[in-house]
Structure formats: structure tokens, C-alpha cells
């Protein structure tokens, strides 16, 4: 299939010679010869390949380059156009293109190849819009889009060779995706041709009938057109204007659209003559308008000043419709040569007729300038500004566009991760996501998505949002749902703790919690500013109300007699209370330590070691303190801090770390200081309880270099 590296046996096509001749009118000689090399390379890579029409494959990239040559694009774009299918259809690598033709050309070819891999699948309008955005977002360089549009244009021109259902599919995609992109970029000639060709293959019969009728009608009216043309020319000359006047033929598709949308008959539309007047500057445009209005009467309400208020894609002209001879309407467009260039080529107009010395590399800059110039001309039309903002977003993407497994496209802000995607699909999927598959491969949930990715989320019914996700999610939706979930979880945990705290406090004042009526609860909740009993319990768990105080208010005289006697239950700590119970950072209690609980406002129950200095400091607030005890079977690890003084010997840290690991503990953190004879090491370890800690310390003492060892508290 490929004959890469071999001298090309096939001769250069005559169209190629014609193209290089044309290009030499505006490109440097060495650029043209580089393009000849690109042509020969592509011809050789595609040798043995043929198009459906039977022509050698190279005729296609050549035609694409010719379309772009007419727009006078730079030599890199043209080289990339000649090479645009070699990566996809032959085995030439990006690196090889880069070696031979430079990095920029390779990037352009790669960009076009990436767009080719994406297929438009769904039919909804909103999806078409997203798909257009995705294409624009994926093309970092506008030239990629220009090549893609030229590629599509040539494929549409040669669509006849395809099977009918393939023709329809490609025509529909062109009408929905590519023609609107051409329109946005102001590439009007390409836009109209894409529309007409799509129309032809989407509605072959209508197209044929309309085409024949238009031809016949135009033939009949030629004499009339010539007459009006001459009259207009004379009148403009008499007004002192040097004008170029041409008859204008309507696009078949726009005739068809007008018939459908305005319910007009064919002859009602075709009986309108179109003329274009080009004059040297803006004042001349208005003079020409005045001259024509005095020649034929204008039809009221048909005058549009797109010079003062340009269309969003930069189009400028004066439009007016006049009553011509025998009552036939005449549409005129009046513009300057500059406006004409933009009307025909939009964003590409900046490459037109530019001096060859200009720096043509920085296309983003040029596109930016184009958008900027549009912004300046579009002063007070809000609609247009919105449209333009939209386009700006497209060309300087702040969004990524990714596929769901069903082929739907989602738009997400830049830097979005798989978790953002999961929440964008559905809250339940976000809440239960555990892993992601991106383009079929396993990927962490924190993976940042790129346009064109196909994303699949793996969920598990027991899974819960992870607070760590808040570090990397970027969408508001993901953020607020994760926060909401954590808050709810905290509420549930606090309410449970609050109930335990209150029950203990009630016992100590000899009240059986079972004897408290709903009415008492309601009254108490109201008085405490809580919405419900559960809210009140959660508030107690969070330390907003002290259980001892609430218990005293519930223990009204007379009722306390019936309560259980002298039971002073303590709160058992299991280490599974979640956010409602915290272990004080000052003393870091572990199971086995004698402990005491302190109810801290808005934080819930904080557990301290009995003789922690913080305890004696706050002993005064006796209502805040309560007795707690460790539960029997605690199945988790606790943080503890120990300090070692060791002799400064080689490898001592490794021996210490090994001893800790052998004792079944994990090191969370280590800090060292001192560089003399001794070094002090501060370890943060994970241990199950005091017994476990004792084992760890025993092992450490066996190391000869360890001179001193102590547990740190505060």
C-alpha cells in the first residue's frame, strides 16, 4: 500500500503544476519548492491508493491544498493540507513529518487526524452545537479547522462516488456541523458551497427540480439583467463613482430555505434580481446608495445598514431592495473591497494579499486580532456581542467536551476531572463513583479530562463521597454535592452522639429517657431554637447545648422519682463515631489511656487524656466535662507522637524505621533536628492502643544508638 522512501514512479499531476504556478504569485520560491517536496512525499505515501471515483488518492490532498491556496493561506497550512491524510491512511508517523517538514506542519497534520477520529453520532440540535464546539476546542490552531473545512468541501464535491446512504450521512453532518462552523468563521464562499452540496444529497429530487427551474429562469432573464446592470453602472458613473457592479446569483439552498420558511413560490423568489456594487470607501457606499434610491424607488423596510452595525461574523455591507422596471424587486449589496474580502473569506481574509514577509506563524495572534477587530466594529449590538463571545470561547477554549458511554457530549469547564464528569451525568453517579475508565483504560478519579475523551464511571452502591475530592473538583455542582453529603453525614453522627450524651446526663439526674413525652421534646426544641428533637440532639452532639443543662431542664420535680437509681453511665468511645468525636491534638489519647470528654462548641466531643494540661486549665466549666471510657473492641489505629534521642551513627534512621515496622506500626511523619553527637527524631506513628505502643517502644530500646525515648503529650 505504501511506497515510502522509494522514488515516486508516478508522474506529477497537471493540477499540481497548475497549483504551484498559482502559489508562486504570492509565496516565496523556496516555500513553493518545499511544497513540491511535500506533494512528492504525499504522492509516494499514498501511491497505490485510489479514491472511490477511481482517481489516484493524491488528487484529494492536492484539491484540498488548492482550495486553501485560493484563500492565500501560508505555506505551512498548504504543506499540512497536502499531507493531511498520510498519518491516517499510510504508516507515516508524526515524528517523520516533523523531521522532514518541521514541527508546525506536523502539529497541523496531527490536529486534522485527531478531528477525523471523532464521529458525530447523536441527532439532537443541542448536541450538534456541542459537537461544533468540541471540534473548535480540539483544534488549538485555527488552521486545523481551515484544513478540515477544505477537506470536507472537496469530499462533498466528490460525494457522487459514494453509496447513497453514506452520501446522506455525510451531507447531514456537513449541514449540521461543518457549514455552521464555516459561517461562524465568516468563510462565506465555503459556507454556501457546503450548504448547496449538502442540500443536493439530502434532497436529491428537490435539488434537481429547483436547479433546472433556476437555470431556465436565469436564461430567460439574462437580457433583463444586462439592461438593469447597464442602467445602474451609468447612474453610479453620473454620481462620480468608480464602481464595480456585478449580477449576483442566489444560492439554491437559500432559495429553497426562503420558499419553506416564508411560504413563497419559486417565481416569487426568483423574480428578485441581485446586484453587488463595490466602491472604494465607506462614504462612497452611502453616495452609491443615494444614487440607486433615486434611480429606483426603495421598498420600505428593506434597507439594512450592516456597515454601521456589522453582522456578528464581521460581515459589512449596505443592503436595500428596490422596485425595478416592470415592478420586479432588485436587491443590492453595496460594500468596499475590504468588506468584500471579509465577506468572502472571514477569518482567512487576514492571509489574503498579505506581503509574504509578514510573520505568518502566529495564527492565534491573527485570529485574536480578527476577533478584536470584530469587537471594535460591533459597538452596540448585544446579540452580536453574545454571538462573538460564544465564538471567542470556541476559539480560545475554556471548556472541554467529552463523550458519555452513550455518545452524548458533555461540556465541562477546563481542568474538570472524572469526579466532575460523574456529578455532571447524575448526582447519584457522583456520590457512588469509585473509579473511571477514560478511552477504555482505567484512570484515577482525579484525572483531568481532555476534549474528545470517552469517559465511563465505575460506581459501587456502598461508596460515599470522599472529602479529598474537594481538593481537585472544579465544577460547582460536584463541590456543592460533596459538601452537602459531608454535612448530612456530620449531622447524623452528631445527632447520635447527642442522644448518647443526653441519655448519660439524664441518668445522672435519675431520669429515664423513655419517660420524656413528645410534647416535652417539642417544647424544649422550640425554646432552644432548634427545629426538631433531632436538630436539638445534633446541636448537643456539636456542643451547642450542654447535655447536663438540658437534662436538668427535663428533670422536672416529681418525675425524677421514677427514674432509675444511681446509674452513672459513662459514654463509651469506640473510635467509629466519625466527625462527632475528635481526639485532642494536644495529648493524642489512645485506647488504654485514662480519658475524659470535653464538649466543645460547634465541634462536638473532644477526648483528652485525664492529666492533659488542657484539662486542668478548663476544669471550671464542669458542665462541659463528662466521663468517657474506651469501648471493649476498638478496631482502628490512632495517631501518637514519640520522641527519640539517638546517637548520630550511619544508618540509624533506617534501623529505627525497621524496628517500628517490625512492631506492626506505620510512620505517618518524621522530623529530625540536631547535627552533633545526638539527633532528636520526632515520629508520628499509628498504633492500636497502649499495649501496642509499649511493644513499639520496647523494640526501639533494643537499638544500641537509642539513648532516650518518650511519648509526647502536648
Minimum Å gap between C-beta 172 and Mn ion is: 19
For residue 112, list its beta bridge partners: none
Give the active site residue among 88, 242, 268, 668. 88
Write the CB contacts of 93 (distance below 8 Å, at least 6 apart in sequence): 87
Q: What is the DSSP letter of 249?
A: P
Residues in the chain, how many?
A: 714
**Helix (H) / strand (E) containing 442:** strand 441-443
Distance CA 300, CA 290 (A): 14
Judged by CB, which is closer to Mn ion: 147, or 255? 147
- Spatial distance between the Cα atoms of 221 and 504, rounded to a whole number of angstroms: 102
Rounded to the nearest whole angstrom, what is the least distance from the CB of residue 414 to Mn ion in the complex?
30
Beta carbon of residue 351, minimum distance to Mn ion (angstroms, whole number): 21
Whole-number minimum distance, CB 190 to Mn ion, in Å?
15
Nearest residue to Mn ion on Cβ basis: 151
Closer of 90 and 494 to Mn ion (Cβ): 90
Q: Bridge-partner residues for 332, per DSSP?
A: 275, 320
Please say if 89 is a catalytic residue.
yes
Interface region with Mn ion, contact rule CB under 5 A, candidates 85-93, 195-203, 370-378, 628-636? 85-93
Q: In the bound complex, what is the minimum distance in angstroms from residue 120's beta carbon to Mn ion?
A: 16
CB of 42 to Mn ion, least distance (A): 11
Taking the least distance from each CB to Mn ion, the nearer of 10 and 158 is 158
Distance spanning both ends of the chain, measured CA to CA: 77
Measured between alpha carbons, how far is residue 514 from residues 204, 223, 507, 511, 559 in Å?
83, 105, 11, 9, 12
The single residue listed with the C-alpha cell 457530549 is: 409
**From the CB of 187, what's the least distance to Mn ion, in Å?**
18
Q: Which is nearer to Mn ion, 112 or 322 (CB)?
A: 112
User: What CA–CA distance (Å, rounded) separates 601 from 497?
Assistant: 14
| H or E stretch at 162 | none
Nearer to Mn ion, 151 or 493 (CB): 151
**Please, are residues 429 and 461 in contact by the beta-carbon 8 Å criterion?**
no
Q: Which of 34, 89, 173, 535 is catalytic?
A: 89
Place of cell 482502628: 636
CA dihedral 527, 529, 533, 537 (to 10 degrees): -110
Cβ pair 384, 310 in contact under 8 A: yes
Q: Residue 60: which of 49, 71, 70 has the closest Cα? A: 49
89 contributes a contact to Mn ion by CB under 5 A: no
The packing angle between helices 188-202 and 252-262, to 10°, is 70
Among the listed residues 31, 107, 141, 151, the single contact to Mn ion using CB under 5 A: 151
Backbone angles phi, psi at 273, to 5 degrees: -95, 145
How distant, in Å, are the alpha carbons of 130, 397, 430, 455, 634 from that of 401?
7, 10, 18, 11, 48
Angle at 580 between CA 578 and CA 585, to 5 degrees: 85
Taking the C-alpha atoms of residue 640 and residue 590, their distance in angstroms, rounded to an integer, is: 7
Q: Which region among 39-47, 148-156, 602-610, 615-623 touches Mn ion (by CB under 5 A)?
A: 148-156
d(CA 60, CA 79) in angstroms, rounded, equals: 13
**CB 139 → Mn ion: shortest distance, Å?**
15
Complex with Mn ion: residue 80 or 642, whichever CB lies closer? 80
Sole binder of Mn ion in the list 31, 34, 74, 85 (CB under 5 A): 85
Residue 151 vs 499, nearer CB to Mn ion: 151
Shorter beta-carbon distance to Mn ion: residue 84 or 335: 84
Going by C-beta distance under 8 Å and a sequence separation of 6 or more, which residues neighbour residue 539?
494, 498, 528, 530, 545
Nearest to 9 by CA among 55, 56, 54: 56
Options 77-85, 345-353, 374-382, 561-569: segment touching Mn ion (CB under 5 A): 77-85
The residue count for binding Mn ion (CB under 5 A) is 2
As measured in angstroms, the least distance from the Cβ of 454 to Mn ion is 23
CB of 16 or CB of 606, closer to Mn ion: 16
Residue 355 CB neighbours (<10 A): 7
C-beta of 108: minimal distance to Mn ion in Å? 13
CB atoms within 10 A of CB 540: 29
Q: Which is nearer to Mn ion, 59 or 284 (CB)?
A: 59
Give the residue numbers annotated as catalytic, written as ranges.
88-89
Q: Could you list the residues that contact Mn ion (CB under 5 A)? A: 85, 151
Amino acid at each position: 500500500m505504501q511506497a515510502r522512501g522509494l522514488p515516486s514512479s508516478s508522474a506529477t499531476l497537471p493540477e499540481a503544476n497548475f497549483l504551484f504556478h498559482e502559489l508562486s504569485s504570492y509565496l516565496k520560491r523556496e516555500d513553493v519548492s518545499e511544497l513540491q517536496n511535500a506533494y512528492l512525499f504525499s504522492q509516494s505515501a499514498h501511491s497505490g491508493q485510489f479514491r472511490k471515483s477511481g482517481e489516484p488518492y493524491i488528487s484529494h490532498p492536492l484539491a484540498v491544498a488548492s482550495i486553501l491556496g485560493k484563500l492565500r493561506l501560508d505555506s505551512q497550512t498548504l504543506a499540512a493540507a497536502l499531507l493531511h491524510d498520510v498519518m491516517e491512511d499510510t504508516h507515516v508517523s508524526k515524528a517523520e513529518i516533523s523531521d522532514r517538514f518541521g514541527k508546525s506542519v506536523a502539529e497541523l497534520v496531527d490536529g486534522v487526524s485527531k478531528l477525523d477520529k471523532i464521529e458525530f453520532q447523536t441527532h439532537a440540535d443541542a448536541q450538534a452545537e456541542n459537537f461544533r464546539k468540541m471540534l473548535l476546542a480540539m483544534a488549538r490552531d485555527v488552521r486545523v479547522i481551515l484544513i478540515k473545512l477544505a477537506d470536507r468541501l472537496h469530499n462533498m464535491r466528490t460525494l457522487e462516488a459514494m453509496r447513497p446512504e453514506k452520501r446522506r450521512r455525510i451531507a447531514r453532518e456537513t449541514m449540521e456541523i461543518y457549514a455552521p462552523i464555516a459561517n461562524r468563521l465568516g468563510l462565506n464562499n465555503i459556507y454556501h458551497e457546503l450548504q448547496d452540496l449538502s442540500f443536493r444529497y439530502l434532497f436529491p429530487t428537490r435539488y434537481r427540480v429547483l436547479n433546472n427551474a433556476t437555470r431556465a429562469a436565469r436564461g430567460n432573464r439574462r437580457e433583463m439583467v444586462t439592461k438593469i446592470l447597464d442602467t445602474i453602472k451609468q447612474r453610479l458613473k453620473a454620481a462620480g463613482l468608480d464602481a464595480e457592479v456585478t449580477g449576483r446569483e442566489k444560492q439554491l439552498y437559500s432559495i429553497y430555505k426562503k420558499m419553506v420558511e416564508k411560504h413563497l413560490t419559486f417565481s416569487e423568489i426568483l423574480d428578485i434580481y441581485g446586484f453587488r456594487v463595490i466602491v472604494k470607501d465607506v462614504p462612497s457606499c452611502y453616495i452609491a446608495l443615494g444614487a440607486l434610491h433615486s434611480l429606483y424607488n426603495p421598498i420600505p423596510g428593506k434597507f439594512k445598514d450592516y456597515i454601521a452595525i456589522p453582522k456578528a461574523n464581521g460581515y459589512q455591507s449596505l443592503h436595500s431592495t428596490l422596485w425595478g422596471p416592470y415592478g420586479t424587486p432588485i436587491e443590492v449589496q453595496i460594500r468596499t473591497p475590504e468588506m468584500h474580502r471579509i465577506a468572502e473569506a472571514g477569518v482567512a481574509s487576514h492571509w489574503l494579499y498579505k506581503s509574504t514577509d509578514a510573520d505568518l506563524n502566529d495564527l492565534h495572534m491573527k485570529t485574536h486580532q480578527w476577533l478584536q477587530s470584530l469587537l471594535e466594529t460591533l459597538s452596540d449590538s448585544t446579540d452580536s456581542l453574545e454571538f462573538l463571545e460564544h465564538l471567542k470561547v470556541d476559539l480560545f477554549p475554556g471548556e472541554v467536551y467529552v463523550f458519555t458511554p452513550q455518545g452524548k457530549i458533555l461540556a465541562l469547564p477546563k481542568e474538570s476531572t472524572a469526579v466532575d464528569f460523574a456529578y455532571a451525568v447524575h448526582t447519584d453517579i457522583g456520590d457512588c463513583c469509585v473509579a473511571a475508565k477514560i478511552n477504555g483504560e482505567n484512570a484515577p478519579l482525579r484525572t483531568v479530562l481532555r476534549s474528545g475523551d470517552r469517559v465511563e464511571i465505575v460506581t459501587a452502591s456502598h461508596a460515599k463521597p470522599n472529602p479529598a475530592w474537594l481538593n481537585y473538583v472544579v465544577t460547582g455542582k460536584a463541590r456543592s454535592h460533596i459538601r452537602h453529603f459531608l454535612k448530612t453525614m456530620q449531622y447524623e453522627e452528631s445527632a447520635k452522639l447527642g442522644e448518647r450524651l443526653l441519655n448519660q446526663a439524664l441518668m445522672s439526674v435519675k431520669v429515664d429517657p423513655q419517660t420524656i413525652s413528645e410534647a416535652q421534646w417539642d417544647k424544649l426544641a422550640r425554646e432552644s431554637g432548634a427545629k426538631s428533637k433531632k436538630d436539638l440532639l445534633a446541636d448537643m452532639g456539636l456542643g451547642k447545648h450542654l447535655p447536663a443543662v438540658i437534662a436538668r431542664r427535663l428533670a422536672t420535680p416529681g418525675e425524677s422519682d421514677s427514674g432509675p437509681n444511681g446509674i452513672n453511665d459513662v459514654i463509651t468511645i469506640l473510635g467509629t463515631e466519625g466527625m462527632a468525636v475528635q481526639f485532642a491534638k494536644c495529648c493524642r489519647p489512645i485506647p488504654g489511656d485514662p480519658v475524659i470528654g470535653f464538649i466543645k462548641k460547634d465541634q462536638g466531643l473532644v477526648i483528652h487524656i485525664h492529666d492533659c494540661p488542657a484539662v486542668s486549665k478548663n476544669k471550671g466549666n464542669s458542665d462541659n466535662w463528662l466521663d468517657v471510657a474506651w469501648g471493649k473492641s476498638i478496631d482502628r489505629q490512632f495517631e501518637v507522637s514519640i520522641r527519640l534521642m539517638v546517637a548520630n551513627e550511619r544508618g540509624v534512621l533506617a534501623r529505627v524505621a525497621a524496628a517500628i515496622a517490625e512492631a506492626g506500626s506505620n510512620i505517618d511523619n518524621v522530623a529530625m533536628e540536631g547535627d552533633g553527637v545526638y539527633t532528636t527524631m520526632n515520629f508520628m506513628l499509628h498504633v492500636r492502643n497502649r499495649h501496642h505502643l509499649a511493644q513499639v517502644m520496647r523494640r526501639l530500646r533494643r537499638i544500641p544508638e537509642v539513648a532516650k525515648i518518650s511519648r509526647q503529650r502536648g
